[in-house]
Structure 1
Amino acid sequence: MMTSAWTEVQYMDRDELESMTVAQLKILLEENSLPKSGKKSDLIDRLLENSFSIDEEEDFLILEEEDHFDDEIEIPKVSTSTPSDKKIEIMEATILDAVLVEEDQTHETPSLKVREPTPKKSEPMIEIKIHAGKPRRAVVLGIILLGAVVAGGGYWWTWVQDQQSFTTEPSRYGDTMSFTMTDGQISATGEEMVELLRENTGDALEKACGDLEVAMSGTGSMSFRNAPSSEITNTNDQIYSGSAESIDGYGRIHLTAERSLSYDLNVDLSGRTWTTDGSKCSNSLQWEMNSNSVTIESISWEELTEETTIQSVSSLDFRTPDNDQTRVDAVSFGGTGVSAIDGILPFLLQPAIPMDLFESFGTTLIEPGVTGEVNGWNYEIKDSLRVNGQLVIPIDLEQPSINACLGHARMSLQIVEGNPWPVEQHVDILINKDRKSNDCGAIESTALELTVPEGQLIIAYKLSGTSFTQGERPIDWGILYSGRPGPGEDIPSSQSQWTNHISDESIIREFTIEEAVECLMNSSSPSGVRSAINNDGYLWKVNHRQENGEIWNLSWVDPQDDAGWTEVKGTSEQSCEVISDGTISPSDSPGYNLNAIPETLSLSTLETRMLEMDGSDQPGSILGLGQGLNSDVTVGAILLATTSSDLLDILTSQQNIDQGEVGFTASRSWNVGSTEHNYDLAIDAERGRIIGWIHTTVA
C-alpha cells in the first residue's frame, strides 16, 4: 500500500550510497556544489558529512524489493531545467532505482514497498525531499518499469540503461586486454618521408624509396603487471603491492606501474625501389614483399607519483617468407631530452597503443554531448549505442594543430564502463606540409617547415577488443612513496662552461680533444679549426674514432656562420697531422650562437656513466672493454638548436627549453659470423641522463 511517504521525506544511508555507482555519486555531489575528487568511499563520506536536499523542482523516486533479492540496478536521475510545459517527460526520466532479478535466482513474485524513513542513530542520513504537489505519473511509470524488468521485459531495461553515463576508472594491477588490428595502413610518398620510416626500422625497408605502402593486420594484447610486494626494496613501500621497481635515466629506483604491449602482425610491403645500380630511386621499378611477420614486444614503467614513463624496453622482429631477419631492440628513459627530437612525428612511428582512458579523461563525466580537450586533442562524446548486445559510448577526437598545419589526425573510440581502454579505436592520420591552411599559426608553420619531412604520410588502423580481464585493485597513481628519489639526488653536478669546445678530460684516451685542438692551433699547417677559433668560433660537433691511430673529426662554425670540418690524427698536443679539411655550404651551416651553449659534463664523465651500465645488452657490456672502450667504438658530442632566431627565442620563452642542447653519442658496428650488429647510444650531456640505446641485428 502506498503511503504519504511518497510525498514527504525519503532518506538514504551509507548502505544505499554504497550501492550507487561512482558516476551517480558524482552527479549528487555536482548538483550540490561539493567536490567530486577522491575514491568512492571519500565521495560517500562527503555526502554524509554534508546532508543536503535535492531541488524540490525535481522528482526523486526509490523503489525497493524484499530483502531476498540481492542484485540492485541503479538508473541515474537525469537533471534538467526543461520548462514546466514538459514536466511529464521530466518525471519519466527521474526514476532512480530498480531491482533486476537474475535468471538463476528464485523466481518468487516480488512485493513492492515504499521505503519508509528509518534513520539509524549511528549513521548520518541524506535527506531527499519530494515535492508533494507533483503529479504521480512518474510513480506509476516506476511501478510499470520495475514489473517489466522483473518479468524479463528487455525493452524497458534497454531503454533506461542506454541513457546512463559514467566516469572512467584508473587501470588496475592485473588488467589485461586482447585485441585485433584490422585495416592497418601506412602509406609514405616522397623520398624524405620514406627515408624517415626506412631509418627507423633497421634494414627491413632498405629496398624502399620514393613511395611505400604497408598493409598490416593481426592480434595484440596489453596488460598491467600485478607484481608481488616482495620485489619492493623499501619495506615502507611494500604496502603498494602490484607496483614494480624500475630505474630512470640517472639510475635511480622508482615505484612504477609495469605495462606490457605486444603485437603479432602480418605485413605486406610494396612500392618503388632503387635502380639496378643503386644510384637513384627508379620511377618504374616496383618492389613487393608480402606475407612478412612482425612481432613487437614493449614493456614500459610508468612512475606512480608523476604518472610518466621513466623507462621502456621494446623489440621489433621482422621476418620475411625466406626467413631473413631484422631485429631492433631499443631502450629509452622518458623522452629524448632534446626538444628538437621530441617533435611531432615520433608518436606516429611507435606501435599503435590503445588509449588510456583515465589518463586522458580523468573524472570527466562520460555522457552524450560533452566536449572538451585532452592532451592536445579536441573530443566530443556521442550518443550511446548497442554493439553486439553491449552498450558502448562513442567518442570522436581531432588534433587541431595537425588539422590546421599538416592535414588531419582523427580518432574514433568506443568505450564501455569498467574497461580502462577502448573496446574499439579507429585512427586516421594524414601528414603533408602542403595541406597547411590559413589557420596554421606563424610559429607552428615555421617550426614544422624545419622538422617535418617533405612528402605525405598516411597512417590508419582499427583496434578491436576481443577479451578483457579486470585486475585486483586500482593502480596507486599520484602517491608519494617513501623510497622516491629527491630533487637533484644522484644527478651529476660537475658541469663546466665551454671555451670553444666541450671538455674531454679522458683518462682512457691517449689523444684528447684538448690535445687535438692545441696541436692544430700550434701547427704550421692551416686548418678550419684554427681559423674559426682565432675568430671567436667554436666546435659544435666532435667525433672520436680509432683507425690505425686516434682520429678526431672536429666540426666548427664562426661568427659569420661559415662552417666546416677538420679531421686530425695524432698522439699528443705536439704530434698530429691534418687528414682532411673542408667547408660546408651555407644552407647546411648550423648557425652561430655562442650564447646558446649550455654548461655540460665532460666526455670523461659521460663515458663513465655509460660504462657503469654493464648488464646484458647494456652499453657497458657492448661498448666497453676492460677499463676502456672497444677499438671499434665511436664517441662524440653534438650541439643542437644553435641558430639564433626570433622563432627560437619565442619557443624558448613559451616552452621553457634551452636554446642549446648538447647530446653525447656512442656507436659500434661489428659482425658475428654472417650477422651484422649496430649499436647506438645517446646521453644528455648537460645532466648526464641516459636517453637510450638501439641495437639492430640483421641476419
Structure 2
Amino acid sequence: MSDDVASTLTVAKLKALCILNDLSTSGKKSELVARLLEADLTHKEVGLPEQAAPEMKEEPEQQEVVLSIEDEDTLTPDVEPEKEQKQPAKAEKDDVLEAEILEADLVEDEEAVPVPVKVKKSAGSTQPATLLDIIKRPQVAAALMALIILGAGGYFFINSQLEPFTADQLRYGDEMRYTIKDGTFLATEGFVELALEQLDTDDEICKLSLLFAGDGALSITEGGTDQLYAEGSTDRLGAVVAKGGMGGQWLAVESINSNNLDKFTVQRHLTNAFNGCSSTYIRADGSAEITTQQHTELREQAMLSTQADWEIDLPDPIGQYRGTTVSYGVGGLLGGLESLAPGFAMMLQPIEVEDLLGNNLIDVGASGSNNGWDWRVIGIDEFSNNAAWKVIATHQDIKTYCLGSATMELWIEEGNPWAAKQKVDVVISSSSTNQQDCSATSQILNDLVLPEGELELHHVFERTSIERGQKQLDLGRSYSSRPQANQLQIDETDLNSWGGNEPHMPDETTMRSHSFELAIGCFDYFQGEASGATNAIDDSGYIWRATTKDTAQGSEWNMSWVAQDESAGWIKFNLTGTPSESACEFTEKGVFDDSVAFNREAIPTTLNISMMEQRLSDAVLYEQLSGTDLFFTSSGTYAPDVQVGYLVVVPGGDLNTLLSNLASDADGAVSIDMSRTWDGNDGWANQLNLLADANEGRLLGWSLIQQPQ
C-alpha cells in the first residue's frame, strides 16, 4: 500500500475489524490496514479505493462467523441477509448508543481479545463494514456479551477450567521480562557493617534502609556452534563454555538476570552520641543496575560460577560505585548464609518452578520439599486476568537454625518455566525473641553466624512478557570434552601437614621478595618489643592470620598469633633483607580482646603458598586473574602492590561444641587471599580482592569495586 493513500475508516473501526478477524490490534493505522488486507479483506472493506483485480467467480453473498470461547465449544450461528437485519427506528437509535459505548472500549484495548470472532465477507461486498454494522449483527452482540461476562466475572469461569500440570522445563533462548515492585531492604547494627563492608564511608550508620523498584529480564543464553569447538558434534548446541573454581573448562547452561532499578532510595540513620541510633534519617535518591550471570554444569548440574556486575549512582556523600563480584560454587552472592541455608538465593530473582516443585503435579493440596524449601499449592488465584496456581513456600533451614523467617508466595502459570509472580518476605535476626523455641545448638549457631541486629528483604516480581525458545536444556547429559576428575585434582603428595608443630603455613615463594620462613626469623629480634608474640611462638603457638606486601625497600608484614592458652595478638614489622637486628624493623603490636581458638589438630593439610601462587598466576587455568589491572601480569609475575595473606579457621570454644553436634570429624579450613588497591588513569579508584582454598587449590571468588577518585 502506498504511503499517500489512507483508509477512510477511523482507527477504532479498523481495530474492531481486527478483533472480529482474530488479528492483533497493535500498531499504527497503516499497519492495521495492511494486516486486514493480508487477512483477505477487500480494499473497500478497509476504506481504501478499489483496485483493479482479476475477475473472480461470483459467489452468493454470505458471511461466516465463528465464535470460540473454549477450544472445545465452538458456536457457528446462522447469518441472516443484511437486509433482514433492519430494525425499527427506535431499535436503531438504541444500537447507535451501544456502538458509541463499545467503540470507546475498543479504542482503549491494545491487545487481542481472548475470545476470537472471525468474520469473512464476500468479495462481492460493495460497502465497507462500519462499526454500527458490526454491532448490529446478533452473533457479534453475543460475542461482545461473552467478552463483558469474561471481563467482569469470567475469572470464576476460567478458574473452574484450570487443569493441573507439571512445571515447564527451561529451554535455550527462554526470556521473561518482569517488574520489580514494593522493594525494601533494611539492615540494623552489625548487618549495616556487612552491607557496607566494601564501601568507603566515614559516617557511623546504625540503620540503613533501601526502597527500590524497576524492571528486570531473566533469560537462558542460546549458545552457538562456536561454544562447541572441543566437541565432535552439535548435540549439545545451546550450551556455553564456562570455567570452574579448579580452572577446568566445562559446558554449562548460562542464565542472565538483569535489574534496572530506576527507583533506588537510601535512608541512613546515624549514631547519636546521646540517644544511640537516631530516629531521623538522611535520604538520597538515585538509581542502580545489577546483572547476574550464572553457569550450571550440564551433567552434574552443579553451580560453576556466579558473576554480578553492579552500579549504584547516588548523590554525595554516598556517590557512585560500580563493581564485579564472582564466586565459584560456594553460595553465590549470599556467601556463608547461602552455604548454611541452600536455596536461599532463589528469592533474588524469579524462581525456576522446576527447581522448587520438581516434576510434581501442580494441583490443590500438592506439597513437597526441595532445596531447603517446604511448599504447598493452596489453590487458584488470578494473575494478569488469567488463572494461576498459587503456591506458598517457607524456608525451613532459616527457621530451624533460628536465623529468622523466609517465605515466598508464587503464582504459577502453564507454559512459563519461571514464577509469573513472586512475593518475597525475609527477616533475619539475632534477637533472642526468635530463639525461644530453638535448640541449644541452633541458638549457638545463631550467635556465631549472625551479627547483632536485623536484616529484612521484601519485594514483588511480576511477569510482563515471556518468550520461549525451542530446544530443552541438556541438563543431566554428559559431553565428550568434559574434564575427568583426576585432571583437575591436585596431587596429594603436594599437600603439607603443618598443623602439628609448624609456626606458620609453608610458603617457599619464588615470586615475592621474602618468604614466611624468612620473615619469622625476625621474632628472634623482637624479644623486648613483642615478648607476648615471641613467647607464644616459642611455646607451640602459631600464626593464624598473616599478610605481606613487597615494598621498594623490601617487604612489610602483619602477623596474628595465638598461644596455647588462647591468648592472641598481632605484630607489624618491615623486613629489608636477611633477618637481623637492622633488617627487622618493629613498627606496632596489639592484643585481641576476645580469645582466639587454638586447635592444631583441626588444621587441614594444605598446598604451600608458592604452589598456590603458581596455580593462580597460570593464565591457562585462570585467565580472569592475569592481565592489565589484575593480580598478575601477562608474564606471570605479581602486579604492583599486591598484598598476599592466609587465614586459619579452626573449631574451638562454643564453635567446637556446635561442630561436634553437627559432625563428628569437623576440621578447620585454610584460605589464601590477595588484595590490591590503585588509582586508575580513567579517574576511578580500584579495590581488587581474591580468595582461594589452600586445601583443594581451588579459587573461591574475586571482586572488583570502583569509585570516582
User: After TM superposition, is the score higher than 0.5?
Assistant: yes
* Aligned twin of 1:397: 393
The structure 2 residue matched to 1:555, chosen from 539, 543, 560, is 560
Within 5 Å, give how 1:88-237 maps onto structure 2.
103-104=117-118, 158=157, 162-189=161-188, 191-200=189-198, 202-203=199-200, 207=203, 209-236=205-232
Query: SS in structure 1 opposite 2:219?
Result: strand
Asked if 1:326 is matched to 2:321, the reply is: yes
Query: SS in structure 2 opposite 1:446?
Result: helix
Q: Distance in 1 between matches of 2:202 and 2:411?
A: 37
Asked if 1:252 is matched to 2:248, the reply is: yes
The structure 1 residue matched to 2:691, chosen from 673, 679, 682, is 682
TM-superposed CA distance for 1:425, in Å, is 0.2
* Aligned twin of 2:541: 537
Q: Distance in 1 between matches of 2:467 and 2:565?
A: 63
Asked if 1:607 is matched to 2:613, the reply is: yes
TM-superposed CA distance for 1:689, in Å, is 0.9
Q: Distance in 2 between matches of 1:512 and 1:170?
A: 53
Q: 1:407 to 1:649 in 2, by over 3 A?
A: closer
The structure 1 residue matched to 2:584, chosen from 548, 565, 577, is 577
CA contact (8 A) 1:561 1:586 kept: no
Q: Distance in 1 between matches of 2:370 and 2:345?
A: 21
Q: Distance in 2 between matches of 1:543 and 1:341?
A: 26
Letter of the aligned partner of 1:185 in structure 2? T
Asked if 1:663 is matched to 2:671, the reply is: yes
Q: Distance in 2 between matches of 1:697 and 1:280?
A: 35
Q: Distance in 2 between matches of 1:342 and 1:160?
A: 37
CA deviation profile, 1:209-268 (whole Å, cap 9, x unmatched): 111221100000000011113321222353111111111011111111111110110201
Pick which of 688-697 and 541-550 moved more. 541-550
* Aligned twin of 2:64: none
* Aligned twin of 1:651: 662
TM-superposed CA distance for 1:361, in Å, is 1.3
TM-superposed CA distance for 1:328, in Å, is 1.5
Q: 1:227 to 1:349 in 2, by over 3 A?
A: closer
Alignment identity in percent?
26
Q: Distance in 1 between matches of 2:323 and 2:202?
A: 14
Asked if 1:506 is matched to 2:509, the reply is: yes
TM-superposed CA distance for 1:546, in Å, is 3.1
Query: SS in structure 2 opposite 1:216?
Result: strand
Q: 1:279 to 1:551 in 2, by over 3 A?
A: farther
TM-superposed CA distance for 1:403, in Å, is 3.7
Q: Distance in 1 between matches of 2:598 and 2:182?
A: 48
Q: Distance in 2 between matches of 1:676 and 1:602?
A: 32
TM-score, normalization by structure 2: 0.71
Q: 1:348 to 1:197 in 2, by over 3 A?
A: farther
Q: Distance in 1 between matches of 2:364 and 2:545?
A: 55
Query: SS in structure 2 opposite 1:696?
Result: strand
CA contact (8 A) 2:172 2:222 kept: yes
Q: Distance in 2 between matches of 1:160 and 1:507?
A: 71
Q: Distance in 2 between matches of 1:545 and 1:665?
A: 12
Letter of the aligned partner of 1:407 in structure 2? G
Query: SS in structure 1 opposite 2:324?
Result: strand
Within 5 Å, give how 1:457-496 maps onto structure 2.
457-493=455-491, 494-496=494-496
TM-superposed CA distance for 1:346, in Å, is 10
Query: Quick check: which has more Rg, 1 or 2?
Result: 2
Q: Distance in 1 between matches of 2:276 and 2:301?
A: 45
Letter of the aligned partner of 2:268 in structure 1? G
Within 5 Å, give how 1:237-316 maps onto structure 2.
238-265=234-261, 266-273=263-270, 283=278, 286-290=281-285, 292-316=286-310
Asked if 1:624 is matched to 2:628, the reply is: no
Q: Distance in 1 between matches of 2:408 and 2:210?
A: 20
**Structure 1 runs not aligned, ≥5 long:** 1-68, 75-99, 108-147
Query: SS in structure 2 opposite 1:539?
Result: strand
* Aligned twin of 1:66: none
Q: 1:531 to 1:280 in 2, by over 3 A?
A: farther
Letter of the aligned partner of 1:173 in structure 2? Y
Q: 1:538 to 1:681 in 2, by over 3 A?
A: same
Query: SS in structure 1 opposite 2:281?
Result: strand
TM-superposed CA distance for 1:582, in Å, is 3.8
Q: Distance in 2 between matches of 1:234 and 1:603?
A: 33
Asked if 1:637 is matched to 2:635, the reply is: no
Letter of the aligned partner of 1:584 in structure 2? V
Q: 1:432 to 1:573 in 2, by over 3 A?
A: same
Q: 1:585 to 1:507 in 2, by over 3 A?
A: closer
Q: Distance in 1 between matches of 2:183 and 2:618?
A: 41
Letter of the aligned partner of 2:703 in structure 1? I
Pick which of 475-484 and 517-526 moved more. 517-526
TM-superposed CA distance for 1:510, in Å, is 2.6
Asked if 1:432 is matched to 2:443, the reply is: no
Letter of the aligned partner of 1:602 in structure 2? N
Q: 1:255 to 1:270 in 2, by over 3 A?
A: same
**Structure 2 runs not aligned, ≥5 long:** 1-67, 74-113, 122-142
Q: 1:206 to 1:106 in 2, by over 3 A?
A: farther
Paired residues, what number? 553
* Aligned twin of 1:46: none
CA contact (8 A) 1:430 1:456 kept: yes
Pick which of 462-471 and 440-449 moved more. 440-449
Letter of the aligned partner of 2:614 in structure 1? T
Q: 1:551 to 1:159 in 2, by over 3 A?
A: closer
CA contact (8 A) 2:322 2:706 kept: yes
Q: 1:397 to 1:342 in 2, by over 3 A?
A: closer
TM-superposed CA distance for 1:524, in Å, is 6.1
TM-superposed CA distance for 1:309, in Å, is 1.8
TM-superposed CA distance for 1:497, in Å, is 1.2
CA contact (8 A) 2:618 2:636 kept: no
Asked if 1:367 is matched to 2:370, the reply is: no
CA contact (8 A) 2:253 2:297 kept: yes
Q: Distance in 2 between matches of 1:417 and 1:387?
A: 12
Pick which of 540-549 and 319-328 moved more. 319-328
Q: Distance in 1 between matches of 2:117 and 2:204?
A: 60
Q: 1:284 to 1:181 in 2, by over 3 A?
A: closer
TM-superposed CA distance for 1:617, in Å, is 6.4
